[in-house]
Structure 1
Amino acid sequence: MKGLADLLLLGDPRLYEICAEVEPDELPLVAGWVADLHNVMEEIRAKYNFGRAIAAPQLGIMKRLIYMNVPPPAGRGPVVFINPVLEDLSDETFELWDDCMSFPNLLVRVRRHKSLTIRYFDEHWRPQRWHLDDALSELLQHEYDHLDGILCTMRAIDDKSFRWRP
């Protein structure tokens, strides 16, 4: 079982790689990957008091896989996104201080789309679609960026858009 020591930190070259799609014959591996992602996210929550989702490449699993666990009413509880695709990104955007498990003490001011639709396979390889607004839209954009080797530091609004977590 992977733990906090396995989390890739800012500067690790793997965080800048584009991930490969999960293949149907890899589906038996997904449950183990998700267990590792869940475990690390729980350790981050305990240590830093944040964490709603984590992308597989943050643990060196270079696959297009995101695990999110946001309890209702804001979310659906645990959700596994396999090979997600973002669609219908709104023209309307908003700014926020973004955080990341791979650099937990740094906040970065970014601009994100207010809403989007995500198309993905669930852990049973069933196709799914979900329309997300506001905080969940921002969250999935952040995690999706990890799959393409993009960190929120690369999306900073300007060179003054960085601060330490209070």
Structure 2
Amino acid sequence: MAILPIIETPDPRLKQVSEPVAALTDEHRRLMDDMLETMYDAPGIGLAAIQVGQPVRILVIDLQEMPEGVEDDGTNEDLRVRRPLYFVNPEFLEVSEEVTTYNEGCLSVPDQYAEVDRPSWVRARWLDYDGNPHEEKIDGFLATVLQHEMDHLEGILFIDHLSKLKRDMVLKKLNKMRRAAA
């Protein structure tokens, strides 16, 4: 496995629509393995293939939750339980009218966060790592993360859901951060 470079805004590749995977291959599985390693290293909880320069409809998610009864106080990172999820050619069959708001961030818009409204649940269909089909109603935080990552497959960033004023403020802060780091 390898850690891949993550594309950051304003790279135009982030705006392209990803292509469906015609047939899942070992090359796609290697990509998913590399995406997971890249995501864990970043660190993040979701990554779409386009974020590592591959315009295919693949994404990985791992919420890396704490075990039952262990409080997430920021000092127990090594206790997080990894349960990677693989989504190939994901699609929404239905979305709720009820909306949930989360403070979202993105590895392609580093260290910037903003509240985004999304449907509180989705019914999705996808193929897993081995090409097995799944169809499931997904809610809660996983539903939000899945929607965020699926936006990447359509060339949409979380900041595209913000008002122009808020989006400009986030981009201004990002540019200021980059200049300070240079």
TM-score by length of 1: 0.85
Q: What is the CA–CA distance in structure 1 between the aligned matches of 2:82 and 2:52, rounded to whole Å?
A: 23
Q: In 2 relative to 1, CA 158–112 (structure 1 residues): closer, same or farther, beyond 3 Å?
A: farther
SS at match of 1:88: strand
SS at match of 1:125: coil
- Look up the equivalent residue of 1:3 and give its one-letter code: I
Uncovered stretches (5+) of structure 1, i.e. residues with no partner = 46-50
> How far does residue 114 in structure 1 lie from its aligned partner after superposition?
0.3
The sequence identity of aligned pairs, in percent, is 28
Partner of 2:98: 92
Which residue of the other structure, out of 139, 146, 149, is the alignment partner of 1:143? 149
Cα contact 2:99–2:119 (8 A) shared by 1: yes
Q: How does 1:50-69 map to 2 (within 5 A)?
A: 51-69=44-62
The answer to whether 1:131 aligns with 2:137 is yes
Partner of 1:41: 39
Which residue of the other structure, out of 59, 83, 87, is the alignment partner of 1:77? 83
Q: How does 1:150-165 map to 2 (within 5 A)?
A: 150-157=156-163, 159-160=165-166
Partner of 1:106: 112
Cα contact 2:45–2:64 (8 A) shared by 1: no
Q: What is the CA–CA distance in structure 2 between the aligned matches of 1:136 and 1:66, rounded to whole Å?
A: 13
Count residues with an aligned counterpart: 158
TM-score by length of 2: 0.78
Q: What is the CA–CA distance in structure 2 between the aligned matches of 1:11 and 1:42, rounded to whole Å?
A: 23
- Look up the equivalent residue of 2:120 and give its one-letter code: K
Q: What is the CA–CA distance in structure 2 between the aligned matches of 1:28 and 1:106, rounded to whole Å?
A: 35
Per-residue CA distance 1:71-118 (angstroms, 9 max, x = gap): 467998111100000121000002222100011211122111100011
Root-mean-square deviation over aligned CA pairs: 2.3
SS at match of 2:138: strand
> Rg bigger for which structure?
2
